[in-house]
Structure 1
Amino acid sequence: MAGKLRNGWPETSGALIKDDLGAWMLNRVLWVTDSGFNSATNRAYLQRGGEHYIVCEKLRSASAAAKKALARPGRYHTVEGNLSVKEVRVGDGARAQRFVVCVNPEAKARDEIVRGNLLAYLERRIAGSDEWSKQRRDELVGELRQTPGVARFCRRTKDHKLRVDKAAIDKDAHFDGKWLIRTSDDTLTPTDLAKAYKQLYQVERGWRDLKGSLSLRPVFHHREDRIRSHIQLCWLALLLVRVVENATGDTWRNVRNELDRMHLVTLETKQGRIAKRSATTKGQSEILAALEMREPAQILDYELPTPAE
């Protein structure tokens, strides 16, 4: 498989994975992929045998059909929580393409903050550059291109001076909190399509957590049973993380940081040695209540003093 993936990845990966699933007798599949796998060739291949796909479209470098979908007016409908969707069809007849525009207000606010930070950084870098030589300004532009997302907000005047591009800011703000999905399935509702794509995000997030905070790799084991045990323990840890996040409504990092503030200390007194934990904070109490867990005992151990010889 590694040899097959070496040439043409990811363009050829859709065909490779589909052929492998066919060998496993899994020929009725709804494919959900991100924008990295979205090409006309892959979409056509995924529809072989009557199957369907849900793929994400790139917003800033969108295809002609995707640009029409984003520009099409229409009413959004709230499907769950903070997610709103709008269905758009581009084209007529058998060539019609179905899109769903999704908007998340929380993601929109986050995108605005990120762009504000990028613009503040850009303004600091170009401040005073009018007095520089053209070569030095060219070098600065080259440096800005190394920082993702910054260079697109920088423009040059006719006399090669650097300015913040207001038009680029307005264009970028149009995409705040949005994501666009394309599908070949006419039976699923916009709600089903949005939820299906969010499940892909959850799967990818699970892999990031496994490889990152839960340290699935590298595995410092050589025996197969130990490797399997390590992976299974990491999977159980991921399950615990998701249970905690769903119960508390907070991220695992925040929950862990709050609980890490609870300490066990050993006190030497005339009456003996006492192992006592720190006082429970308000945040810790809320977490334990959400998880339906009792607070740990205040005194975990007590030893009487040893009589002097």
Structure 2
Amino acid sequence: MYLRKTQRRNRDGSVVRYLQLANNRRVGGTTQAEVLVNLGREDNLDVDALRRLIASINRYLGDADDVCAPLGAETGPLSVDSARPVGAIWLLDGLWRMLEIDKALAGVLGTRRFRTDVERVIFALVANRAIAPSSKLAAADWVTHTVAIPGLDGMDEDQAYRAMDLLVSADTQGEVSRAVFFSAANLLNLEVDLIFFDTTSTYFERDGEAETDGKGGGGLRRFGHSKDHRRDLPQIVIGLAVTREGIPVRVWVWPGNTSDMTVIEQVKDDLRDWRLGRVVTVTDSGFSSRENMAYLQRAGGHYICGVKMREGSGQAAEALSRQGRYQQVRDNLRVKEVKLASDPGRRWIICHNPVEAERDKTRRDAQLEAIGQELERIAAARAADLNKAQAKAARQGKQRVSAKPADAVHRRAECALRDHPSLGRWLKQHPSTGRLSSDGAKVKAEANLDGKYLIATSDPDLTPEDVALGYKNLLEAEAAFRTMKTTLDLRPVYHRLDERITAHVLLCWLALLLIRVAERRTGHSWRTINRELSRIHEVTLAGPAGRLTQTTTLTPAQAQLFKDCGIAPPPKMSGLQPTE
């Protein structure tokens, strides 16, 4: 930041000079001067007012300078008008502009003009979701009174909802997602040969489903299989595609009763329109129907998918029964490729994790021990009750003893054990007596699957190691969902209109994109980045000479975070407003 002189030559040959407060900013590969304040003509400049401002600044910095103080003038004390956190928001705004999300939004919104800057309002909602997730009313108050958003002094709830509606209308055909993806891919050099796709669900704090349009359509809020274990509440299904680096590239929203098997065609078609070239789609076993796999192979595409091993699939059983040597990939991963004559178009990769195998065995042994103890307790209690009944009958002189009342109690205990969510799978009920015992055949069958998972792929070029490691990277999609549901507070959702529901998910997706880029570049979790940078405040000082905005001094750790992300830190001083 510096004082800059400019001049203008009049027709009569006289020269008029002007004084400006300027700052150099790097735009692309060039440096451009940005004028912060025009101080006016040099011959009309109030030098004493400028000296008073300099003295006020020096006093705040602790560097008193008597030379700058005007003789016989009282500069007066400085007062702090406001102090707002700016560090984390400044980093997110820098990433937002670096990824050219602002240009992408401007491109899809077109030439329409609005009374407020819609792009700034959308960014403010995204920043709120990443830093302090809250409702749209609370977010408007947060932007207006709590934090400093570059280019936005404040907003209200109506402006927030208006921006959300415009975001959804602009992304009707995925224009925003497409523009954001290609900006991020070009800048971050993303590898998009593998696309990882998964779905999750999130619920609403409402009792009923959405109203339909009377024709069997409309309404995202539907009851369905809840992955949040909230079947009592309506929900939506969310699909997310991420790269192998964990960068989310697109998000989808479907009604809550949508089955995973029915969405692959739409995902494939939407990504095909982006013309990404050769793409291998990675999914889990919930999408592994023959129809879905055949659709993923259209237009030269390929897939890597998990295969369910415990549901009686003939091909899975045949693949697991094949002999062969495992190849050591890592300390905790071995792979073996087998081929089936019944399905020559697919490759089958058996993966074995010794650590996970030992964990499965330990867990199963503990459950079998608990089952044995419970069955022994029930048998002992039944025998004790029968002995009591026999003793009572003997005292009464009865010849026969009825064990039905006591036996009914013990049968209820056995039924509760049989229906136990984790222990019941190891039990079988004998048809003749109705008694329970451990199912040795099932225990043996499960022991053969300890630490194993089965993968099928249509790609003829990938090595078994690449297939196995590619499938393991599907955890990136699961990690993205965890971040959306915890850090970004995706759930619960309180919106009623479908457009607002979709906009809420889009805002969470954009926030996830920014924090994933920040985590990838710094090597720190977003929780750590947010905590460290939120300590940077923008302080507005006021005095007789004018107003000035100053940023607190950065610590080495804070400066390093900005450097790692390639974002210039906030300026030390800005917003100079001399008193008229």
SS at match of 1:133: helix
Superposition map of 1:61-100 within 5 A: 61-91=311-341, 95-100=344-349
Say whether the 8 Å CA contact 1:141–1:151 is kept in structure 2: no
Say whether the 8 Å CA contact 2:288–2:307 is kept in structure 1: yes
Distance 1:35 1:238, change over 3 A: farther
Q: Give the distance between the partners of 2:280 and 2:462, measured in 1 at CA.
A: 11
Q: Which of 194, 217, 225 is equivalent to 2:468?
A: 194
Larger radius of gyration: 2
Deviation, structure 1 residue 234: 8.4
Distance 1:124 1:42, change over 3 A: same
Q: Which residue of 2 aligns with 1:117?
A: 366
Q: Which residue of 2 aligns with 1:183?
A: 457
> Which shows bigger deviation, 24-33 or 194-203?
24-33
Q: Which residue of 1 aligns with 2:151?
A: none
Distance 1:136 1:45, change over 3 A: farther
Distance 1:128 1:174, change over 3 A: same
Q: What is the one-letter code of the residue matched to 2:429?
A: R
TM-score with structure 2 length normalisation? Answer: 0.37
Distance 1:232 1:14, change over 3 A: closer
Say whether the 8 Å CA contact 1:153–1:169 is kept in structure 2: yes
Distance 1:135 1:71, change over 3 A: farther
Q: Percent identity?
A: 33
SS at match of 1:167: helix
Cα deviation digits, residues 43-99 of structure 1 (max 9, x gap): 11111112111110111114211111100010001012321000000116x734310
The alignment status of 1:231 with 2:505, answered yes or no, reads no
Deviation, structure 1 residue 215: 5.0
CA RMSD of aligned residues (A): 3.8
Cα deviation digits, residues 212-237 of structure 1 (max 9, x gap): 3x3543499x9x9xx67993698369
Q: What is the one-letter code of the residue matched to 1:197?
A: Y
Q: Give the distance between the partners of 2:219 and 2:490, measured in 1 at CA.
A: 19
Greater RCO structure (CA 8 Å; 6+ sep)? 2
Q: Which has the higher helix share?
A: 1
Deviation, structure 1 residue 27: 5.7
> Which shows bigger deviation, 16-25 or 80-89?
16-25
SS at match of 2:260: coil
Deviation, structure 1 residue 155: 1.3
Cα deviation digits, residues 228-258 of structure 1 (max 9, x gap): 7993698369938x9469xxxxxxxxxxxxx
The alignment status of 1:169 with 2:418, answered yes or no, reads no
Cα deviation digits, residues 123-152 of structure 1 (max 9, x gap): 2333343436368536633554341x4222
Cα deviation digits, residues 175-231 of structure 1 (max 9, x gap): 11001000111110000000100111233134324523x3543499x9x9xx67993
Q: Which residue of 2 aligns with 1:295?
A: none
Q: Which residue of 2 aligns with 1:211?
A: 485
Q: Which runs of 5+ in 1 are unaligned?
A: 246-309
SS at match of 2:363: helix
Q: Which residue of 2 aligns with 1:101?
A: 350
SS at match of 2:473: helix
Q: Which of 424, 429, 432 is equivalent to 1:151?
A: 424
